[in-house]
Amino acid sequence: MGENAAKNHCAQLNQGEENEMEIFGYKTLGWRKALCIIGYILSCGALLLVFYWKPEWDVWANCIPCSLEEADIVLLRTTDEFRIYSRKTVTWISVSALIKSRSDCPAIAEEDLIFSKAIMKPSLQVKSIQVQKIRYVWNIYAKQFQKVGALEDDHTCSAIHAKFGSGLTCYEQKVRRLICGPNTIDVPVIPIWKLLIKEVLNPFYVFQLFSVCLWFADEYMEYATAIIIMSLLSIFLTVYDLRQQSVKLHRLVESHNNIMVTVCRNKEGFQELESHHLVPGDMLVLKEGRTLLPCDAILISGQCIVNESMLTGESIPVTKTCLPQADNFKPWRMHCAEDYKKHVLFCGTEVIQTKADDRGAVKAVVLRTGFNTAKGDLVRSILYPKPMNFKLYRDAFRFLMCLIAFAAIGMIYAVCVFALNGEEAGEVVKKALDVITIAVPPALPAALTSGIIYTQRRLKKKGIFCISPQRINMCGQLNLICFDKTGTLTEDGLDLWGLLPSERNCFQDIHSFPAEHSLPWGPVFKAMVVCHSLIVWEGKIQGDPLDVKMFEATNWVIDDSSGHKIEGRESTLATVVRPGPKASSAPVEGLTILHQFPFSSALQRMSVIAQETGGEQQVFTKGAPEMVAMLCRAETVPSNFESKLLLYTTQGFRVIGLACKSLQAGKQSADLTREEVESDLTFLGLLIMENRLKSETKPILEELSAARIRSVMVTGDNIQTAVTVAKNAGMISPTNRVIFVEANKIPGSFSASITWKLLAENKTEDYESLEHDSQTERRIRLALRSEQYHFAMSGKSYQIVAQHFRHLLPKLLLNGTVFARMSPGQKSSLVEEFQKLDYFVGMCGDGANDCGALKVAHAGISLSEQEASVASPFTSRTPNISCVPELIREGRAALVTSFCMFKYMALYSIIQYLGVLLLYWQLNSFGNYQFLFQDLAITTVIGVTMSFTGAYPKLVPYRPPSQLVSPPLLLSVVLNILFSLSMQIFGFLMVQKQPWYSKTNIHSACLSMNNHTENSSSVSSLGLQGVRDGAHEQMDNGHKSYENTTVWLLSTINCLIVALVFSKGKPFRQPIYTNYMFILVLIGQLGICLFLVFADIDDLYSKMDLVCTPTTWRISMVIMLAVTLAVSFLVEEAVIENRSLWLLLKKTFWYHSKSHYKRLQRMLEQDSAWPPLNETFFSDSVSITVEGNMGGHSNPAFDSNEDAL
């Protein structure tokens, strides 16, 4: 039994999904819980705080492992590299009130559904947990937690029509509602007190609280108060920001949480109810007029036109068709393949128009509710963002650990010194703890945050908005940017360039646009008039830009009257097109579009059935030319089809194929399947569209290339068009060669083949002969190795390589520049594969089909301001790629600022720490005002103003270091510590050797200059009564000594020296003199410090615990500081910032980058057989299973029309 429990203790939740987790079962033990409560009381809540930070420790302390079936607490752990734990309590849902008798049990009606499998007998309860807003219930038979709130995937098309076509019964609906929960995307506005408590319990603020308590105990009131004010300000700013985000998100989702909907109840007819009562399986009736969808639903009758801009970022109306009643055993989603989205209405989208068919009302079956929906998924991605792994943050933690280790050494030293001198135990503890607050700078996080805030503000001024500030530093490391093509590199709209008609399998003369004479009436003209999915919306023709351009060229208009009755089909709304005022004369009054087969990315085409007024029915198809040609009768396709297509695609044009056929009389269009309609077509010709590059594209890509930042094109367009655009944009230089990588599955087997073909530079060259000419091939391969080459591949080839040639994928990605015909899921997968090679990947797209890739990239930049872009960390108001170098520049500047801040804060802490430890030797320390001056007037002000320095306008061809523990940075810190230590020890020892020095008489140096002789004998002993005891003796509070004055003045000005030396300018930030505020602050602080050195004002010196020294000693201190500045500055410039020196050292010691892609580059340089040319490899029959969506997050509503072109 124990072995079985151990086996069932752990399971996977959401296996294979983006939010995959491990789940562990635990049972609470009373005696363990009692012991923990005693621990909470005895530790004054400290143990409770530790458990709050570490939920896994809480579970391990209170509970014992058990099977998931017996568990009352579950522990969840993410399967990514972060392994983040979370604790959830198991809850019970009682359904006994609904189930009156056993015969009424849902098990009879729904034996195969999760609802019946979750109800435990005889208690009639359901065991559930809620994880990231999704409810999971315990499946008694499968012994696992399963997601509820969505219709099971294994239903067939016919089963959905049969089971749910007439609606759920009232009883079924109540059971489902109880188990699934309400259909709401509920994002409550988090109360301010909750946000405050969460922020205050941050480990850093807890440490600050400890520091402040210690300072109050030491009567170091002023700085403690200043830190409290700063911390409160920081907390309130953070809470305000979080509150604003919470309110914004709440407003985003609240609009459709309560909509009145009409549902069909089995045996009860139609019923109106609030949308939060909807459950999966409910039958929704869509009425005429605009409707906001409160859930995801499958359309099972009629047709809808939907505005999906909320999800896709594109306000192009989309046509949805009903789910076919296919009678097979395949689950509905598998049967529909990638086209399943054409039948799904997504939550948050707006139904603009409904078209009923001969079955009556437009109906849809509720597919998913609440947070399971497309919109719910988008909201969850904002609520629970993927944590970012960045070396800087890991190193920062290690850095703080080192400072704590330093503090521990100081504590031991302090205890030894004071205990041996007979100090009271309480005082010794206080002094020892004081060392921690000196060695670990409490202002560090605030200083680091200020740098990011200033960068965010600068980006905002440049029209770049950021919702994930911690990613700004990551932008400084980007070395590869993936660009979408359409709307990103090229103009969003298309221009109609020409039409190449075909008659009797021969291409005719090209018809150019804009033309003096209009297009002649004929099948091609008819195809352009009807083969689209355009609608009239708000008085304007709306739809895909390509369709709009094509239709506008005909000068026809869409008749937007409410509906058109067609013989025998009274209830149908059909689209009628008629000649416009500017149209050339046509022999018909108009054309009626009877039926549409919408565009499908899987099929790469769309079709319509149209009819002339009073004429015969015809089919018109348009799509990817290769695909359309395959559907046409061979005798109608011109023999030079491929060469003509190549001619235009290699010039960067988008080419669309057109075809048609007549339908037999008497056949109802609604009864025909897509396969029947799209067969034996007649080829009509090619429509040629021009997609111009944006004017900013080429210079920006050249700037990135000069900065050694790789550019990659990831598009849904044709591969030839993509390669041409890449060449025109400068991604592929004219001297570089392009190698097409084509992978295909071998029919009838589980293996695949991969072929490398060199792209011919001009059409007359015949590379087929290369296969037999080994001399030529060797010559080309040598040329390829000496210069850059680029791989180009399609999404289909990419997926096959990922499945069958996994070992080749990294090699292909190393020089892969063009990835065409990529689906949204493949784009996400590609970004993740680049990240596995240790690239820092940026993704720039329009926020629609790139939604997933924008999320998984280190820095996703959306050029769309639609709601779909909320998942993207950065959004640019400027709709071109000029935001990319801008973001990289600011990222690099922010990263360098972070390093400067770290170095400065570490040095300031260690300078103060060394000074205090030196004075501890004499049982002395700095006075309160001395600490206050260093902490507040110097460090805090420098910390705030150091980050004002802007980014350098030019991108240099190398990146700033990405880690704090890099040799130059460590050397810089260590050397400056040594310089400070040397100077302080030198000053400490030298002052004791001065002829005027007296250990007991602090006025001995200036007897002739002041009138304190009478007080000289009454100077109190230097034995301290407290390091910062704050005794208010006007003359002497126990801190005054020549050593104190010397060490304090040296260490204070030393803080200014390191601030100046560490403030980097070029090549990543603007020169330091451009930061006027910082320079003014430094000059002001230096002026005050020099005034304190040379002034001899009794009241001021008394307040600051300073003593009078001869002018010669003061000048000596200034000389010491000047030497330290000169040495520090020289070392920083000549050694630390000397890039050539470090490159030489790397070369001398054979140091090579550990990045995966660099290692691979070195390996391929030695491989004479790479890249292969005109070769075909075959895979083994074993393949890796790759999910259909290639992993990654893809926008559930998006289906890119690019794929057809």
User: Which residue in 916, 923, 927 sits closest to 1028, CA to CA?
Assistant: 927
Catalytic annotation, residues: 484
First to last CA, the chain: 61
Using CB atoms within 10 Å of the CB of residue 430, give its burial: 0 to 12 exposed, 13 to 18 middle, 19+ buried: buried
Separation between Cα atoms, residue 609 and residue 660, nearest integer Å: 10
Beta strands in 894-1030 (DSSP E): none
Using CB atoms within 10 Å of the CB of residue 656, give its burial: 0 to 12 exposed, 13 to 18 middle, 19+ buried: buried
Cα–Cα distances (Å) from 407 to 440, 708, 932, in that order, read 7, 43, 20
Which pair of structure tokens corresponds to residue 959? Answer: 């990146």
Tell me the three state secondary structure of residue 1018.
coil
Q: Which residues are registered as beta bridge partners of 820?
A: 794
Rounded to the nearest 10 degrees, the angle between the axes of helix 46-53 and helix 55-62 is: 120
Tell me the three state secondary structure of residue 902.
helix
User: Which residue in 314, 307, 272, 311 sits closest to 292, CA to CA?
Assistant: 307
Q: Is the distance from CB of 345 to CB of 304 less than 8 angstroms?
A: yes
Which pair of structure tokens corresponds to residue 110? Answer: 């729904």
Cα–Cα distances (Å) from 1055 to 933, 1051, 1052, 1125, in that order, read 11, 6, 5, 11
User: Which residue in 13, 14, 371, 367 sits closest to 181, CA to CA?
Assistant: 371
| Angle CA 520–525–530, to nearest 5 | 155
Q: Which amino acid, 1020?
A: S
Which pair of structure tokens corresponds to residue 439? Answer: 């060695």
User: Which residue in 1202, 491, 481 sits closest to 880, CA to CA?
Assistant: 491
Which residues, other chains included, contact 339 with Cβ-Cβ below 8 Å and sequence gap of 6+? 600, 602, 603
CA 104 to chain centre: 49
Separation between Cα atoms, residue 829 and residue 1191, nearest integer Å: 6
Cα–Cα distances (Å) from 823 to 480, 752, 799, 1191, in that order, read 20, 21, 10, 12
Half-sphere exposure of 630 (CA within 13 A, CB side): 9
Place of tokens 């002023």: 222
Separation between Cα atoms, residue 725 and residue 652, nearest integer Å: 6
Which residues, other chains included, contact 40 with Cβ-Cβ below 8 Å and sequence gap of 6+? 47, 48
Q: Is the distance from CB of 301 to CB of 359 less than 8 angstroms?
A: yes
Q: Which amino acid, 18?
A: E
- The DSSP symbol for 997 reads -
- The DSSP symbol for 773 reads -
Cα–Cα distances (Å) from 6 to 56, 705, 754, in that order, read 18, 56, 46
Q: Give just the sign of the alpha carbon dihedral 1083, 1088, 1092, 1096.
A: positive
Q: Which amino acid, 527?
A: A
Give me the count of residues in the chain: 1205
Separation between Cα atoms, residue 603 and residue 601, nearest integer Å: 6
Q: What are phi and psi of 1011, to 5 degrees?
A: -110, 35
Q: What are phi and psi of 363, to 5 degrees?
A: -125, 150
Q: Is the distance from CB of 89 to CB of 119 less than 8 angstroms?
A: no
